[in-house]
A and B are shown apart, each in its own frame.
Chain A
Amino acid sequence: MSDRARILDSIRRAPAARLAHPGSYESPAVSPSWAAFAAGLRAAGGESHGPIARAVLSETIASVCRSRGDGPVRIDPALVSELGPGEWVPLDLEAAPEALADIHVLVSRGCVGVAENGAVAVPIVEPALARALFLCQHLVLVLEVERLEADLHGGFARFWSTEPAGRTVWISGPSKTADIEQTLVLGAHGPRTLAVIGVGDRDA
């Protein structure tokens, strides 16, 4: 008998305690606000900018990148076309991991944001983007304010209504650890800072 058959057989022989699935979760009705998202992000060690008008997105990104000091800045290729003229260097999707580790600031796009915890969903279908998200020293995410949900239930429903299950990371703040005497240190393995720039005019 294979391990698979043995495991499934002993599970099926266990006395059944069939309980109904509780169905969908009904969250308390709260409308998402940028202020709540910014607070959630701050609590997670990140910083928010905006919401800003689309017309000033390029200069806001440039200013946030400058504030992170000198070093190579790379932009998610999917975002470059939206940024207008500028010296934007797109992320090389063929780059070797060693080259990605030299990225000082990476700018990418978030798909959905969650106000209660400051989390932003980033699809990571491209292997180079997935690596760069964790190898860069500083990360900047651009998020349409209209794509904000109050809680994680709403965030998940919104995100997966349009995206396949695929590969996705929900990012809340920079990489961190408190493994040495509970002292919070930002930048354990991944980005040392995270900035989220809100674009659009919704707020409450």
Chain B
Amino acid sequence: MSLPLDRAARVALPTTESVQHHETAVADLRRRRDDALARVPDLQALREHAAAIKGHTLGDLGTYLERFEEQARAAGAVVHWADDAPAHNRIVHDLLAERGVHRVAKSKSMLTEECGLNPYLEARGIEVVDTDLGERIVQLEGEAPSHIVIPAIHRRRQEIGALFHRTVGSPEGEHDPVVLTEIARQDLRRRFLSAEAGITGVNFAIAETGSLVVCTNEGNADLGMHLPSIHIACMGIEKLLPRLEDLPAFLRLLARSATGQAITAYTTVVTGPRPGGELHIVLVDNGRSRLLADPEQRGALACIRCGACLNTCPVYRRTGGHAYNQTVPGPIGAVLAPAFRSDREASTLPFASTLCGSCSAVCPVGIDLHGQLLAWRARAPFGGGRIRWVARLGAEVLARPRLYRLVGGLARLAWPLLSRRWPGNPANAWLEGRELPPHPGASFRSRFRLWSQGSRSREGSRSRGGSGE
């Protein structure tokens, strides 16, 4: 049975080489994460502490949001609230249009991707330059990020070299990452200096002080925040932490889980605008309060977007992020999709999982990702659909030993037929990347019966032999 994700994966990573490249890159991130966290002596206590802070904050989110708003305003920021993506885009556009802004430097923000901010602003004559190198690559390519931490992880250096040659005039055939990064640096520096406003995402927000926390390795968010006089920070309402004192636990986990670094190169805490500048904070719901009201699924709001669950997921590794057809891919994306989207495809994403549980095991804030995927499956809206039908049939067969034996016998007869690809074979999708093992010849029950008869007779001859000694 093929899911929409299967089909999309053929487009996202179309060749064996692209799959291998993606898998190697992503597995490398997972290995770095393991190495980094192995050096944290208090890892388990730290994870439990972080999960407890998130659980507490989500339980009293309204109070913390009001406190944050009050403190941020007291520090001189302007706080805006957006119920959904159109409201968010409208607020940002109005702020820019009222100030006559035509050029914006934007740093990485999954929320603005989720809201489709770039096309919205561009359609209204505002030039938006994504300044994170990975985001810049996908922007120039005209595609979406495929990973929440490394947006262009699916692209190889040759492809990026060719892209830069086409778009920023790098020498033909140049694909050395050092040279390409330098070319991007020079190009973006110019754009930073001429930007009239900076838009950033937010990693954490502190209710006690009204502060924003932004983490990057490149320093691009800082240039966007400190150079232009207008800074617009867009954040989901779930980003709050009660106190500054709560932040270190998350910073110690975030970069280690993401890339294996002990901390990102820059962790910037901003409280209020800089002297002579403006700071606007847009608080966005866009489905989050609905998720909060769902006791089985609200845990996903604790996510700190480290990407560790993507990097470990056997499905994400093979399909690539674009196959998920939404901003956040991987296990956390498959959990968020049915909550944020109402289309049928979104409700199939929780089935794109082996339920191996590796995602839950690596999640630094202890989200029960595979448990939540399972819970979504139980709610899948395709009542008469094939997945539910097959599951019901399976349950019926497993509940009846005789029927089970009969079906087993039939399956053994059909085995040679099923193990070959032919039009209409339901196993075709499975057989594409694998071979069925050779037929064992007999059922497990009959082999077990033979084995236990044999062992009984061996026992008997041993005990007879023993009595003769």
* Contacts known (A44-B261, A134-B219, A151-B248); A180 close to B180, Cβ less than 8 A: yes
Assuming the contacts A187-B185, A189-B223, asked whether A156 and B248 have C-beta atoms less than 8 A apart, the reply is yes
Given contacts A18-B59, A156-B245, A180-B160, 7 further A-B contacts (CB under 8 A): A10-B289, A11-B292, A14-B293, A22-B53, A167-B272, A170-B269, A178-B150
Q: With the chains together, A101 CA to B188 CA distance in Å?
A: 13
Contact B226 A127 (CB under 8 A): yes
Interchain CA distance A134-B219 in the complex, whole Å: 7
Q: Chain A residues near B59 (CB, 8 Å)?
A: 16-19
Q: How far is the CA of A116 from the CA of B75 in the complex (A)?
A: 31
Distance of A2 Cα from B132 Cα, bound (Å): 34
A188–B193 Cα distance when bound, in Å, is: 16
A179 CB–B CB distance under 8 Å: yes
**Secondary structure call for the A interface:** loop
Q: Indicate with 1 or 0, residue by residue over B227-255, a CB within 8 angstroms of chain A CB atoms.
A: 10000000001000010110111011000
Chain B interface residue count, CB cutoff 8 Å, equals: 93
- Let me know if A188 and B133 touch, CB within 8 A: yes
Is B28 positioned at the interface, with any CB of A under 8 Å from its CB?
yes
B62 on interface, CB distance cutoff 8 Å: yes
Asked if B42 contacts A27 (CB within 8 A), the reply is yes
Q: Is the CB of A22 within 8 A of B295?
A: no
The 9 A-B pairs of least Cβ separation, nearest first, read A190-B219, A117-B262, A188-B218, A179-B134, A14-B293, A152-B248, A180-B177, A165-B209, A4-B81
Q: Pull 17 A–B residue pairs with CB atoms less than 8 Å apart, ordered by A.
A: A3-B87, A8-B65, A15-B293, A22-B52, A27-B42, A119-B263, A130-B274, A134-B222, A155-B248, A166-B269, A167-B270, A175-B266, A177-B134, A180-B157, A180-B177, A180-B180, A190-B266
- Whether A182 contacts B28 in the complex (CB less than 8 A), given A188-B217, A188-B218, comes out as yes
Interface of B, secondary structure class, is helix
Q: Which residues of B contact A152 (CB under 8 A)?
A: 248, 251-252, 263
Given A17-B55, A165-B209, verify A171-B266 contact (CB < 8 Å). yes
- A-to-B contact residues, CB < 8 Å: 2-4, 6-8, 10-22, 24-28, 40, 43-45, 97-98, 101, 114, 116-119, 124-125, 127, 130-131, 133-135, 151-153, 155-157, 160, 164-183, 185, 187-191
